[in-house]
Amino acid sequence: MRSVFLSFKTEDLPRVNLFRGQAENSTNDLDFRDYAIESPFESAWKTNAERIIRKCSVTLCLIGPSTWLSDAVDWELRKSFEAGKAVIGVLLYPDRSVVTPPALSENGVTPMPWDIQAIASEIEQKSFWRM
């Protein structure tokens, strides 16, 4: 089983839950974790989020229309890169023109379309090389 940290903007939660549901209904062996919050600077948020990120194999950034504006997502992605985790970007709304979060662009991560099998394959490949 691969532990995957999900980084997303809370306004995209309905799409994130749909994504989770599709992934759980597939034959993939993925365990999704996140630290979704209402306020990105609530007490102990960064400590708890970093602990979860470090326990996961990969960070998956689920990108909606305004994800690139989220300080919390940016922080989670930067912590993931800092921890040496593989980071994958996934477009939640492939029919829209979406801006990539700065931490992804700066680290050369090109978001991929929402295709559960392709995403699972990418997670498996990136996890393998980080073991």
Q: What pLDDT score was predicted for residue 77? A: 97
For 27, the domain range is 2-129
Residues found in the chain: 131
Q: Model pTM?
A: 0.86
User: How many domains, in total, are found in the chain?
Assistant: 1
Q: What amino acid occupies position 94?
A: P
In this predicted structure, what is the pLDDT of residue 112?
93
Rounded Cα distance between 81 and 105, Å, is: 12
pLDDT of the residue at 98: 80
Q: Are 62 and 79 within 8 A, CB to CB?
A: no
Tens-digit pLDDT profile for residues 51-70:
999 999 899 999 999 999 99
Q: CB–CB of 54/81 below 8 Å?
A: no
Scanning the structure block, which residue is given the tokens 């709304």? Answer: 93
Identify the CATH number of the domain in which residue 30 sits.
3.40.50.10140
pLDDT, position 99: 86
Give pLDDT tens digits along the chain (131 positions). Answer: 688 899 999 899 999 999 888 887 776 677 787 766 555 556 677 888 899 999 998 999 999 999 999 999 999 999 999 999 999 999 998 766 788 999 999 999 999 999 988 998 888 887 655 54
